[in-house]
Structure 1
Amino acid sequence: MKNLVLGVNDAIYRACIGVAGLAIVIMALIIPWGVFSRYALGQGLGWPEPIAILLMVLFTFVGAAASYRAGAHMAVNALSDRLPPQVQPFLTLFVRLAMAAISLFMLVWGYKLCVATWNQYLSTLTWLRVGLSYAPIPLGGFITLLFVLEQLLYGDQHKRRVVDYECTEDSKEAV
Structure 2
Amino acid sequence: MKQHYRQAMEWLYLACIVLSGAALVVITLIIPLGVFMRYVMNSPLSWPEPASVIMMVMFSFVGGAAAYRAKVHIAVQALLNAVGDAKRRVMLWGVDVCMAATSLFMLGYGVQLCMAMRYQTMAEFPDLPVGVVYLPIPVAGLLTLLFLIERVWVGELPADSLIYSDQAVEAE
TM over 0.5: yes
Is the counterpart of residue 90 in structure 1 residue 87 in structure 2?
A: no
- Residue in 2 aligned with 1:162? 161
SS at match of 2:78: coil
Deviation at 1:124, TM superposition (A): 2.5
Deviation at 1:143, TM superposition (A): 0.3
Equivalent pairs: percent with the same residue?
41
- Residue in 2 aligned with 1:122? 122
Is the counterpart of residue 102 in structure 1 residue 99 in structure 2?
A: no
In the TM superposition, structure 1's runs of 4+ consecutive aligned residues that sit over 4 Å from their partners are none
Of stretches 116-125 and 134-143 in structure 1, the one that deviates more from structure 2 is 116-125
Q: How many residues align?
A: 162
- Residue in 2 aligned with 1:136? 136
Deviation at 1:123, TM superposition (A): 2.2
SS at match of 2:156: coil
Deviations 1:9-34 (CA, angstroms, capped at 9, x unpaired): 00000010011111111110010000
- Residue in 2 aligned with 1:48? 48
- Residue in 2 aligned with 1:24? 24
CA distance in 1, matches of 2:133, 2:121: 9
SS at match of 1:86: helix
SS at match of 2:86: coil
- Residue in 2 aligned with 1:171? none
Q: For residue 137 of structure 1, what is the amino acid of its counterpart?
A: I
CA distance in 2, matches of 1:67, 1:161: 17
Question: What RMSD over aligned residues (CA atoms) do the two structures have, in Å?
Answer: 1.2
Structure 2 gap ranges (5+): 163-172
Deviation at 1:35, TM superposition (A): 0.4
Deviation at 1:86, TM superposition (A): 2.2
Deviation at 1:89, TM superposition (A): 1.3
Larger Rg: 1
Q: For residue 36 of structure 2, what is the amino acid of its counterpart?
A: F
- Residue in 2 aligned with 1:14? 14
Deviation at 1:156, TM superposition (A): 2.2
CA distance in 2, matches of 1:96, 1:32: 41
